[in-house]
Structure 1
Amino acid sequence: MTDFKNFSVPYEIAPEYSKKVAYFSMEFAIHQPLKIYSGGLGFLSGSHLRSAYELGQNLIGIGILWKYGYYDQSRNQDQTLKPEWYEKTYSFLVDTGIKFRVTVHDVPVWVKAWYLPPDTFKSAPLFLLSTDLPENDYLSQTITHKLYDSDTAAKVAQCLLLGIGGAKLLDELNFNPDVYHLNEAHGVSSVFHLMRKFGKKEEVKKRLVFTTHTPEEAGNEKHDIHLLNKMSFFNGYSIDEVKEMVGFTGDIFNHSLAALRFARKANGVSKLHGEVSREMWKFYPNIPEITHITNSQNFKYWSDKQLYRFMENDDEAGFDDRKWYLKKRAFEIVADQTGKLFNPNVLTIVWARRFASYKRAELITRDVRRFDALMRNTKFPVQIIWAGKPYPLDYNAISVFNQLVHLSKNYPNMAVCTGYELTLSKRLKQASDIWLNNPRVPREASGTSGMTASMNGGVNFSTYDGWICEFAEHGKNSFIVPPADYSNMHAEDQDDYDFEKLYEVLENEILPLYYDDREAWRNIVQKGMKDVVGFFESNRMAKEYYEIMYNA
């Protein structure tokens, strides 16, 4: 029986990872049945918890139990996107029996803690907070209904719950971490609980580290300081006290800047993102050192082990047959969703990740004639699959998704899938020969989907951004859209340039190689598989967090 009043991590701790860490994140993608994530941030934190478990680290996760998850991706009658929200229930979560109150908008709100034991999905212990309790009024219950609620007050309440609620839970558990790790700034309200607990900013700073995932200042959460004060975000501290604590002068509270001012150390999530972050914050005083730890993904969860075995045994026929089977199996899902039966012998391009404007899902389609010629090419045939979830109120991204759906009606070799969660993500990576990634440089902080594509025999084809800058060797383990001096280009010019170069590489290098020299193609696939495990596996990342952030 777990003792939740004096909680300790219930597996053997490796001596080098003995420091107690509480890891705060708004979302965790641990496994398909636990739908409390939206995209890359969750995939990253899920892999982190899996590696913490594998390495025997003294780390626990703190998150929120979202009653309706992010949303369920369904379709309208014409196949376009339809967001739906269904209540989720999880028999595998353990009721800790812990209930406590946090103050939201001057009202006490009851919070209940649920627990995901390590053995369930082979992850570090995870505690999830819920306000969906009969003791609360309806408005308070809705705080934990939808991940990233579009209502500003609801979003503030969610951040307050993760931060202050998460810090309070640690007191209830008597866990007393040596390090509070904020994965993105959603949980920054925790500092106002820790100030009450430790009394001095210096004492809080000793214990706090912060990971930023956002490469542009505009993307960092900001709110009116008076709204936050009304909502009890500052845990009883006055606006003047908060301004003095965080070093703000105006009436805008920048969550990331506050996290930086309270952290003894901070990190970006790729080498390039570390540079971008240092540049972005360099004019702000009292910022800690911003280093970088490149995001990574968990090999045990994501990789196809049989592909690796065939590769290690130099069994080329077995390797090719396994990849053919993986494609065929994934294509059954595509056929089930879209009625289109793809051919495992045809080069398959997959674009699948969170739909956001800067990721440019539609880039390859922007010249209708050029795209049409590509799709009707009989000498070098292609198949293309898209998938991903736009934010349900991001009408630009939804419009792009729907445009692709309508375009796909013209081609038997083009499909747009729904339900892009962990399971479909894994299957589409296994389906991919080419994993297409074309964000506007330098807006992708890391972009980890290509790592797991490589672990399943997909070759990355990407603009030169995020983690790719540390991984890619063009024509050896991946293909790159040749970079330019984007700093002097307008977005439209950048899109035109990248589009032209993308087609040049695809038509002149990738397609001929795939169809005319399978041995050379297999070498690129396998070098990508080896290189990704060499540095972009999350055990390396989890180890570096202890070495660079927690123990330093």
Structure 2
Amino acid sequence: MRALRRLTVRAALPEALLPLAPLVMNLRWSWHPETRDLFESVDPDLWVSCGNDPVRVLGEVSAERLAALAGDRKFLRRLSDVTDDLQDYLDAPHWYQSLGPDAPASIAYFSAEFGITEVLPQYSGGLGILAGDHLKAASDLGVPLIGVGLLYRAGYFSQGLSADGWQLEHYPALDPHGLPVKLMRDAEGNAVVITVPLPEGRTLHAHVWRAQVGRVALLLLDSDIEENTPAERGVTDRLYGGGEDHRLRQEMLLGIGGVRAVRAHCALTGTPQPEVFHANEGHAGFQGIERIRELTESHGLSFAEALQAVRGGTVFTTHTPVPAGIDRFPRALVERYFAGFGVGVHDLLPLGAEEDPTKFNMAHLGLRLGQRANGVSELHGHVSRDMFGHLWPGFDSDDVPISSITNGVHAATWTARELVELGTQTSSQGDPVDVAGPVRFDQVDRIGAGELWATRRVLRARLVDEVRRRVRETALSRGASEVEVGWTDSVFDPDVLTVGFARRVPSYKRLTLMLKDPARLKALLLDPERPIQLVIAGKSHPADDGGKQLIQQMVKFADDPEIRHRIAFLPGYDIGMARYLYWGCDVWLNNPLRPLEACGTSGMKSALNGGLNLSIKDGWWDEWFDGQNGWAIPTADGVEDPDRRDDVEAAAIYELLDRQVLPRFYETDRDGVPTRWVEMVKHTLAALGPKVLASRMVADYVQQLYVPAAGSARALAEGGYRVAREQAAWRSHLLANWGSVRVAHVEATGVGDTPEIGSTLDLRAEVELPGLVPGDVEVQAAYGRVDDTDGLHEVTAVPMAHEATEGSRHWFAATIPLERTGAFGYTVRVLPSSPGLATPAELGVVTTA
């Protein structure tokens, strides 16, 4: 029989232990070692059997044990200390509080997934882990963020393996009452219900669960409630499940329902309503549509005026390096779902328009709704500007208004405690979260090579123990008997170079690239003097049979009795497993097909633990590899045959391992310390460590995007949105007249037939502006190196001064320096100009001579 409903029954806490309740409900315990120690001491055996989940521990601990703890003075003193420490953390001002009144009072951060802890499995991979680290770092910095997501009753999925190595998916039912979340209730104690309209007069209802992530509230919407029909109850069944109709309803609930949940949360808690709305990928794009509807109904704004106001306070982050990774819905489906919503479908559909007129593109929606947009590494910024450049026709790639902020990782979550206590993240400048500007972990220089190496050996041995445990469990789950799994007791060796590879398994990440030459890989694994061992993990999307075939291929290779003590594929990849991998691996392997890795943060987490990266120069590694923090795998970028490219790059991996990585690891001094290896480890910890911090990333978001967005939002809201109305009217007028703008003539004087470096060139341009005035535009002189086809490169653009007017004709002038030798070129271009624009390219129009 199946249970009709699942619930969690807990023992009542004695009065002396009541402070445990707020401790367990604040997810700071997921990155605070002392709090985790306290929960472990409640019942050490139960802590292990519950998978280090304090919510389960308190749910299953006996009343007798609680009574004993209530009389244990030592435990009560520890409980008091940890409780006081949390309160100090929540109350003390941090970096953000020093920024003054320009900083937004509140920011809403929307994401389809959040990876906070394995105890709250609401993530599938890097996007969710990044979102979770964003919230944690925001909490550490004091940033007043409100996270918004969905509560998936089956999470993503739990991964297993069949006897023949095929990925199996299990969807365990999650009881919110057994998770570290609380139901949002109104002043009368009733559950708050959020509604989203659906076609045919139906309504989607949702409860809101709140997880507390340090200082940050994370709101998670749940449709599995009695008010819904069975179809609507299943909207939040699982992450990235179902067909187009199902996904569209999920994204409507996330965006539209998410805004409504934020409004309710702020009203109930007295939190300021957000000034900035940050959409982390296109899944949350409909949050802007809901805010437009609010303004048209509450302030009588037109769609164009409301759009202007909403754009000013919206930030959009794209994580997608390929068009295939973008959510695209049938236009007709969007039209059906939004008919009668409150925003005209004829206004909505152009926001998601793309080349295919039958599709509605969520990334395009995000870019058109966000006045500020960014990619997640420098290289990804370039890729995004190329990929979405067609939305700004006439602009060179460098001028497309998509910036970049390179991702980071939350050090306290991912760094081994032993390394932190050793001083690897200590700076003479003070606490990194309170330092403005670059930080260096200079305490690393004072750690002895032998001491650091001994700590790395401890962490590697811990990983080996975990690998053995998991390999044994996996063998039994795949059908082996107890008498057949004795070999698992000796898999892996705590003194062998350990290489890690763990991530999602789409084709571009090339899980099986290392298998291109099986004989050579075997030779590396079995080398009698300098062996390597490989630990591999990753999940394929349930609908991706190609990815599952790659996993099966890897599992079959690792099943070979000759090498299974040196290579293991571990199913069930999650945050809990990942920590052991990041702590214990000496080398982190990453071999995506460049440039398809937007950022990739797993190597960052390894680096914080002294791991050295062996990676294709893609994502973050492209900008931060310095020759001393690991190895860059050469890429065969010009090779069009994908199989040949894989062959070339796989051979490069084998060669680097054989000629550079292995000799450096196994070459030791008289004390058994590989001094050159440890030098690389120390350099990585000291110089790269501060760069990869999520606190650096969030500070960049605050300074580069959130503060400017808040300024725009405030300006547009002035006078009951008078400024938004004026800007919308100006924009409409300018675009209506732009087709007549023309650079009629450009005259250059000041140099002779043989211009020399150090001289100057005087430019004078005649520009026709029918219907417009000089203040509506900026006329620029653009100059730089010129190629054989007269294309300009390394362009510098300077504004030209207005000199004279005759009717609709205007003259502008500038002087440009000749600062380098070689082929030189220039042109004149006209761009829109207004204080309300974040960039001259924002409106997507330009006129060039």
TM-score, scaled to structure 2 = 0.62
Shift of 1:139: 1.1
Contact 1:192 1:235 in 2 (8 A): no
Partner Cα separation in structure 2 for residue 232 and residue 142 of structure 1: 20
| Other structure's SS at 1:429 match | helix
Mapping 1:512-531, distance limit 5 Å: 512-517=663-668, 518-531=674-687
Mapping 1:150-189, distance limit 5 Å: 150-173=242-265, 174=267, 175-189=272-286
* 1:269 aligns to 2:376 (yes or no): yes
* 1:401 aligns to 2:551 (yes or no): yes
Partner Cα separation in structure 2 for residue 388 and residue 483 of structure 1: 23
| Other structure's SS at 2:174 match | coil
Partner Cα separation in structure 1 for residue 165 and residue 333 of structure 2: 40
The residue number in structure 1 matching 2:447 is 314
The residue number in structure 2 matching 1:334 is 467
Shift of 1:280: 1.3
The residue number in structure 2 matching 1:6 is none
| Other structure's SS at 2:386 match | helix
The residue number in structure 1 matching 2:513 is 363
The structure 1 residue matched to 2:385, chosen from 261, 278, 281, is: 278
* 1:296 aligns to 2:408 (yes or no): yes
The residue number in structure 2 matching 1:54 is 140
The residue number in structure 2 matching 1:506 is 657
The residue number in structure 1 matching 2:613 is 460
Partner Cα separation in structure 2 for residue 480 and residue 245 of structure 1: 40
Bigger radius of gyration among the two: 2
* 1:29 aligns to 2:162 (yes or no): no
Contact 1:350 1:432 in 2 (8 A): yes
AA in 2 matched with 1:434: V
The structure 2 residue matched to 1:63, chosen from 118, 142, 149, is: 149
Q: Measured at CA, do residues 145 and 84 of structure 1 come closer, stay the same or move farther in structure 2, by a change above 3 Å?
A: same
Shift of 1:524: 1.0
Shift of 1:247: 5.9
Partner Cα separation in structure 2 for residue 342 and residue 84 of structure 1: 28
Shift of 1:10: 7.3
Shift of 1:377: 1.4
Partner Cα separation in structure 2 for residue 440 and residue 26 of structure 1: 25
AA in 2 matched with 1:399: Q
Contact 2:104 2:707 in 1 (8 A): no
* 1:193 aligns to 2:313 (yes or no): no
Shift of 1:302: 1.1
The residue number in structure 2 matching 1:104 is 198
Partner Cα separation in structure 1 for residue 342 and residue 647 of structure 2: 52
Partner Cα separation in structure 1 for residue 181 and residue 352 of structure 2: 37
Q: Measured at CA, do residues 496 and 91 of structure 1 come closer, stay the same or move farther in structure 2, by a change above 3 Å?
A: closer
Shift of 1:47: 0.7
Q: Deviations over 1:487-513 (max 9, x none)?
A: 553322321221111111111100111
Contact 1:265 1:288 in 2 (8 A): no
With 207-216 and 97-106 compared, the bigger mean Cα shift is at 97-106
Contact 2:377 2:407 in 1 (8 A): yes
AA in 2 matched with 1:86: P
AA in 1 matched with 2:152: W
AA in 2 matched with 1:105: P
Contact 2:629 2:688 in 1 (8 A): no
Contact 1:435 1:461 in 2 (8 A): yes
* 1:14 aligns to 2:97 (yes or no): yes
AA in 2 matched with 1:216: V
| Other structure's SS at 1:111 match | strand
The residue number in structure 2 matching 1:413 is 566
The residue number in structure 2 matching 1:208 is 314
The residue number in structure 2 matching 1:372 is 522
Partner Cα separation in structure 2 for residue 516 and residue 225 of structure 1: 62
Contact 1:63 1:128 in 2 (8 A): yes
Matched residues, percent identical? Answer: 30
The residue number in structure 2 matching 1:5 is none
Shift of 1:279: 1.3
Q: Measured at CA, do residues 109 and 133 of structure 1 come closer, stay the same or move farther in structure 2, by a change above 3 Å?
A: same
The residue number in structure 1 matching 2:834 is none
Partner Cα separation in structure 2 for residue 291 and residue 236 of structure 1: 32
Shift of 1:233: 8.3
Q: Measured at CA, do residues 261 and 18 of structure 1 come closer, stay the same or move farther in structure 2, by a change above 3 Å?
A: closer
More RCO (CA 8 Å, sep 6+): 1
The structure 1 residue matched to 2:336, chosen from 230, 237, 240, is: 230
Contact 1:349 1:434 in 2 (8 A): yes
Partner Cα separation in structure 1 for residue 381 and residue 372 of structure 2: 12
The residue number in structure 1 matching 2:835 is none
Partner Cα separation in structure 2 for residue 534 and residue 470 of structure 1: 14
Partner Cα separation in structure 2 for residue 321 and residue 303 of structure 1: 16
Mapping 1:474-513, distance limit 5 Å: 474=627, 476-484=628-636, 486-513=637-664
* 1:538 aligns to 2:677 (yes or no): no
Shift of 1:176: 2.2
Partner Cα separation in structure 2 for residue 263 and residue 225 of structure 1: 21
Mapping 1:239-278, distance limit 5 Å: 239-244=345-350, 250-278=357-385
Shift of 1:456: 1.4
AA in 1 matched with 2:210: Y
Shift of 1:123: 5.6
Partner Cα separation in structure 1 for residue 677 and residue 216 of structure 2: 38
| Other structure's SS at 2:196 match | strand
Shift of 1:309: 4.3
Q: Deviations over 1:121-163 (max 9, x none)?
A: x362111000010221111111111000132211111111101
Shift of 1:232: 3.5
Shift of 1:221: 1.4
Partner Cα separation in structure 1 for residue 406 and residue 375 of structure 2: 8
Contact 2:385 2:400 in 1 (8 A): no
- Measured on the aligned residues, the alpha-carbon RMSD in Å equals 2.1
Shift of 1:52: 0.5
Partner Cα separation in structure 2 for residue 244 and residue 471 of structure 1: 39
Shift of 1:379: 2.1
| Other structure's SS at 2:184 match | strand
Partner Cα separation in structure 2 for residue 307 and residue 172 of structure 1: 43
Gaps of 5+ in 2: 1-20, 23-88, 186-191, 297-305, 394-398, 425-443, 473-487, 669-673, 709-849
AA in 1 matched with 2:662: L
Shift of 1:169: 1.2
Contact 2:276 2:314 in 1 (8 A): yes
AA in 1 matched with 2:676: A
Q: Measured at CA, do residues 213 and 245 of structure 1 come closer, stay the same or move farther in structure 2, by a change above 3 Å?
A: closer
Q: Measured at CA, do residues 432 and 244 of structure 1 come closer, stay the same or move farther in structure 2, by a change above 3 Å?
A: closer
Partner Cα separation in structure 1 for residue 106 and residue 403 of structure 2: 21
Q: Measured at CA, do residues 465 and 82 of structure 1 come closer, stay the same or move farther in structure 2, by a change above 3 Å?
A: same
Partner Cα separation in structure 2 for residue 492 and residue 234 of structure 1: 51
Q: Measured at CA, do residues 227 and 373 of structure 1 come closer, stay the same or move farther in structure 2, by a change above 3 Å?
A: same
* 1:423 aligns to 2:550 (yes or no): no
Contact 1:263 1:288 in 2 (8 A): no
Misfit runs of 4+, over 6 Å:
none
Partner Cα separation in structure 2 for residue 507 and residue 547 of structure 1: 44
Contact 2:104 2:276 in 1 (8 A): no
Shift of 1:68: 0.3
Partner Cα separation in structure 1 for residue 339 and residue 650 of structure 2: 45
Partner Cα separation in structure 1 for residue 244 and residue 340 of structure 2: 17
Gaps of 5+ in 1: 3-8
Shift of 1:531: 2.5
The residue number in structure 2 matching 1:550 is 706
